[in-house]
Amino acid sequence: KQEVTQIPAALSVPEGENLVLNCSFTDSAIYNLQWFRQDPGKGLTSLLLIQSSQREQTSGRLNASLDKSSGRSTLYIAASQPGDSATYLCAALDNYGQNFVFGPGTRLSVLP
């Protein structure tokens, strides 16, 4: 059964800093991995989707990497801004089903 973990659980950084969020999954037989952003009391916004055949995806200041062999993905945020403050979730879609397995999230605070 797929298990997804994320570290750190919470992170507080000053504005302008580059940062890395980590995601680990136990079963490397994944179809893809998706990073989401969740604002308090709100839904989930898709940030980046990495297919199993890909190594990384970029969107603006965000870069996500995927290493299936080690069961890891990272989300890199460049030049962080207060508006980036949110909870970031990673979710792995396995080859055996249609459901994403979510990690617990990293709660990010970017201080002005």
Partner 1 sequence: EPEVTQTPSHQVTQMGQEVILRCVPISNHLYFYWYRQILGQKVEFLVSFYNNEISEKSEIFDDQFSVERPDGSNFTLKIRSTKLEDSAMYFCASSDLPGANVLTFGAGSRLTVL
Q: Which residues bind partner 1 (CB under 8 A)?
A: 31-32, 34, 36, 41-46, 49, 51, 89, 91, 93, 97-105
Choose between 59 and 70: whose C-beta lies nearer to partner 1. 59
**Taking the complex as a whole, how short is the minimal distance between the CB of residue 44 and partner 1, in angstroms?**
4
Residue 66 CA to residue 78 CA, distance in Å, equals 18
Query: Quick one: 50 or 80, whose CB is closer to partner 1?
Result: 50
- d(Cα 75, Cα 90) in Å, to the nearest integer? 9
Nearer to partner 1, 37 or 80 (CB): 37
Q: What kind and span of H or E run contains 7?
A: strand 4-7
CB of 93 to partner 1, least distance (A): 6
Minimal CA–CA distance to 16: which of 66, 74, 50, 61? 61
